[in-house]
Chain A
Amino acid sequence: MALQPRPPRFVRLVFASAGLVLLVAAGAVMATFLRAERAAPERAATSGPTLVFAEFGLNADEILVAPAEDPEARTPIQTIPHASGWGLNPAPALVAGRTAYTVLPPNATPSRTSAAELWLLEVDTTSASRLARDADLLAAPVLRQDGAVLAYRRTEDGGGQSLLRVDLQTRARRVLHTDHSSFGLFPVGFDEGGALLFTRLSADGTDLMRVSEGAAPELIIHASDEIARDWSVAPAGDAVAFVAPLLQAERIVHQAQVVSLRTDAVVATTPAASFLGEQYGPTWRGDGALALGREAIDGGGVAPVVVGTAEGPILPAASAGFDVPLGWSVGGDYLAVRHFSGSGSQNPGTETLVLIGTDSSRQTIATDTELIFLGWTGA
């Protein structure tokens, strides 16, 4: 076999230099990939409220933004791959342009028993970064009102559940509370002093608790002897709304209550008490008003009612069905709701994501698959 001449030294130097440059570039690319950060093209800026939501896909969810005045003008900002069939589970609302969610990674066993990942999504930069790999999929994380801290839940190997606080600046994680004796812990949000609010389910019912770092948890109120749900913290962190079941005219209905976090007591006159029947999804507006969904008792469409202000807007109803509030836009001009074509919990019918405007508009977000509300950005 004939020997081949080696290339001249300068040629080798050129190749070596090029290799070095490519080496660093490839390393950076790999580093970006392995850091589990995801970035997507930036979107066009809009001046008004912008809806942020996810479109469920069998193997990946797509996160989209859309201006409230034209929700069909959607821009995809991120794709979230996940275990087949199991979509992301987001925090109840966007805070300071960011949200968090739990999700089963694509290589996980597609089961609720698998450990989920916890991710932070920055809507403005469209980047997502992984914060933890030990989260409970079904327990949605919650963000503090300033968006600097979040809390999530994990199940310990030996049983029991822990609530963890994550500082989003330093990414430091701290266990705030571990409980081995209850049915479950559920992060609710943060109070105005920065303490984590959570509920604890036991055979005695639902307790609302608060816990701060380094302190023992304290009971705020025994909310119900049953399962209370749909917890929502007021924007100022001084009150919490929820629904709890009660017997009404031989039916079980859920009705809203409000707890003052300053007096740790149920507000004496719950504004929703005058509306009979099942109530859904109490959702605070920036000015302290509360939107409540109601079942369609009489067959016609029923819109959410807004209570807690002297002049609550009358929101337009669909011709049939009922609405479950999800979140107000920052300025309070739009309310995102889950609209159901049926009459109530037992007969909900089909579900769509609808934007209700205080200008009496109702806009349905058209889709072939389930939509997952993430929140609002913009004015």
Chain B
Amino acid sequence: MLSRVTSTSRTLAGALILGAILGAFALGVQIAEPPTAHACAFDPLRPAAYEGDALRERYLLAIDAAAINQLFPGDSYFGLPSVEAGTRTNRAAGQPAVPVEVLRAIGWVESTLTMASRSTRFESIGPALVSFDCGHGVMQVTSGMTIPLGAEGRPTEHQTAVATSDTHNIARGARILASKWNDAPGLRPVAGTDTNGDPTLIENWYYAIWAYNGFTGPGSRQSNHPLDPNLAWPRPAYRCDGTQSRTRYPYQELVTGCVTNPAQRGGGDLWAAVPLTLPDFTQPQFFNAMRLASFTFPYREMDIPTPQPAHRSVAPQLPENAQLVLLGSPQLSVNGSSVTIHANGTPDQASATIRIANPGSGLLSWSATPSDGFLIVDPPAGSAAGSGVSCTAVDCPNGQITVTINPTLLPASRASGTITITSPNAPGSTTIRVQVFAEFEVAAPGTSRAP
């Protein structure tokens, strides 16, 4: 009887599924179109990343360090450049520092300070946060992440680090912000004409923040122009608490709103509030800068004085062990030296698993590069937590790669290849030999069954 019911249920279930599909088409349904995809550094796969604690203490500490160039000083990709000071006529190199208050708020607006996708639990490893336009991680770094930039169409070490390492991601975001500041006066307007373009005054970062999201003019789809007719006017300050739609605000007001009204978690503010001043567009010196006629390269007419009262950034005081906590000393360790795949075997045999551990400290970033096109490694890059990094989920603290094959690219029914695992922040590399047995007839032209 049990068997009969089961059999009938299967019949019914099958009929239902088929009927649903047929019925849908019979009624002229327009199937939802797939969204248009951008090509990102790791497409079509997604790297894995470590997600920090719920109170964002790790990320906020990393932001503190990045803001004063204490993560990767001197690194031409992840370190801060000199941040220039001065007006159009006396611009000069200054200290490598960005306002930590701004960096925190940008991180919140971009990702709510998260490195992995929303499905990933705190203090665990899961799919990295990658937006549809290739924004990666906490700072939603897009620059340099839209296509693979390495040899043979593979991601570079820099791209791996941005996608899988929170500290590198945050440091890169800080550097991009600094570069937006330094774009003035050649490419962008100057804020702070009356304060010698002082970068320690947070209000002077108005244009740099605007440019972090795109220095877009009025009327464009991605407009951040504060007087754009599509944006509500007047508008109350952005409260950064999830109760207001972002639709009504230019990007720079989202960020300054979050500086003024800190995000909250665990019943408290995540950072100290600073009541920033926005440009007063009832005053001609600010209004004229936003005139349509002023929005012309190199935007000389958009130079503005410092909105007053202005607020000076407070350089963070890092704990002595900040570098150790944030960067540690990761080590790359991979289990085994070879794996075997039986392409037409059981599901367990049709794939292989490689585990990557970090017996050192801090967060290890890794990437896996297959030698041949028939080898698929997923994820192609990821993280592994070492000592000092809390990782509490079941799949912690190790990284894990699943290796499968693309049978259409197999050269023969018996093939071999390698997977090389490297790290942008740990020495050494490991090569895993992969043996593939595929007893079916392969379809590649010019090949035949193995003898």
Q: Which A residues lie at the B interface, using CB under 8 A?
A: 4-7, 12, 15-16, 18-20, 22-24, 26-31, 34-36, 56, 58, 61, 85-89, 107-114, 133, 136-140, 155, 161, 182-186, 199, 201-206, 225-231, 245, 247, 250-253, 278, 280, 324, 340, 344-346, 348-351, 368-370, 372
Contacts and interface: CB of A to CB of B under 8 A. Distances in A.
Contacts of B29: 30-31, 34-35
Given A251-B282, A344-B282, A204 B4 contact: no
Contact of A229 (B24, B35, B220, B229): B229
A184 B242 CA distance: 29
B247 A31 contact: no
Contacts of B222: 111-113
A40 to B, nearest CB: 21
A138 B230 contact: yes
Name which of B20, B227, B242, B291 has the most chain A CB atoms within 10 A of its CB. Answer: B20
B26 interface: yes
B244 A370 contact: yes
A19 B12 contact: yes
B30 A345 contact: no
A278 B32 contact: no
A229 B233 CA distance: 9
Interface string B119-143: 0000000000001110100000000
A185 B219 CA distance: 7
Nearest to B293: A203
Contacts of A278: 282
Chain A to chain B: the 4 pairs with minimum beta-carbon distance, closest first = A27-B23, A184-B219, A23-B19, A87-B245
Contacts of B151: none
B18 to A, nearest CB: 7
B132 A23 contact: no
Contact of A345 (B28, B243, B281): B281
Contacts of A340: 234, 236
A140 to B, nearest CB: 7
Contacts of A36: 32
A67 B296 CA distance: 49
Nearest to A24: B23
Interface in B274-297: 280-284, 287, 290-293, 295-296
A4 B8 CA distance: 12
Given A114-B132, A203-B296, 11 more contacts: A27-B23, A27-B26, A35-B29, A36-B32, A56-B243, A87-B246, A89-B247, A136-B221, A140-B230, A227-B292, A368-B243
Name which of A5, A140, A201 has the most chain B CB atoms within 10 A of its CB. Answer: A201
16 contacts: A15-B11, A22-B15, A30-B21, A34-B24, A35-B29, A86-B245, A111-B222, A138-B228, A161-B221, A183-B217, A186-B229, A199-B229, A201-B292, A225-B293, A227-B228, A227-B229
A346 B33 CA distance: 44
Interface of B: 3-4, 7-8, 11-12, 15-16, 18-24, 26-33, 35, 131-133, 135, 214, 217-223, 227-231, 233-237, 242-247, 280-284, 287, 290-293, 295-296
Contacts of A202: 292
Contacts of A136: 221
A161 to B, nearest CB: 8
A345 B247 contact: no
B98 to A, nearest CB: 22
A245 B291 CA distance: 10
Contact of A226 (B214, B230, B292): B292
B282 A345 contact: yes
A136 B199 CA distance: 35
A112 B221 contact: yes
A186 B243 CA distance: 27
B3 A4 contact: yes
A113 B133 contact: yes
Contact of B20 (A23, A109, A204): A23
B24 to A, nearest CB: 4
B220 A184 contact: yes
Given A184-B219, A369-B243, A139 B230 contact: yes
B360 to A, nearest CB: 35
Contacts of B135: 109
A86 B219 CA distance: 18
A111 B283 contact: no
Contacts of A182: 219
A88 B248 CA distance: 10
A24 B24 CA distance: 9
Nearest to B7: A4
Contacts of A226: 291-292
A85 B292 contact: no
B11 A28 contact: no
B174 to A, nearest CB: 21
A88 B231 CA distance: 13
A23 B287 CA distance: 64
Contacts of B12: 15, 18-19, 22
B330 to A, nearest CB: 31
Name which of A19, A136, A205, A229 has the most chain B CB atoms within 10 A of its CB. Answer: A19
A70 B246 CA distance: 30
B46 to A, nearest CB: 14
Contacts of B11: 15-16, 19
Contact of A58 (B20, B32, B242): B242
Contact of A253 (B35, B236, B237, B282): B282
A205 B292 contact: yes
B245 A370 contact: yes
Contacts of A230: 229, 233
B245 to A, nearest CB: 3
A228 B218 CA distance: 12
B245 A56 contact: yes
Contact of B242 (A16, A18, A85, A349): A85
A370 B218 contact: no
A370 B217 CA distance: 26
Nearest to B288: A252
A348 B236 contact: yes
A250 B283 CA distance: 8
Contacts of B30: 34-35
A27 B22 contact: yes
A109 B133 contact: yes
A206 B295 CA distance: 14
Nearest to B223: A138
A252 B284 contact: yes
A370 B246 contact: no
A34 B32 CA distance: 7
A132 B307 CA distance: 42
A107 B35 contact: yes
B281 A23 contact: no
Nearest to B27: A31
Nearest to B246: A85
B236 A186 contact: no
Contacts of B21: 27, 30
Contacts of B228: 138, 184, 227
A79 to B, nearest CB: 15
A183 B234 contact: no
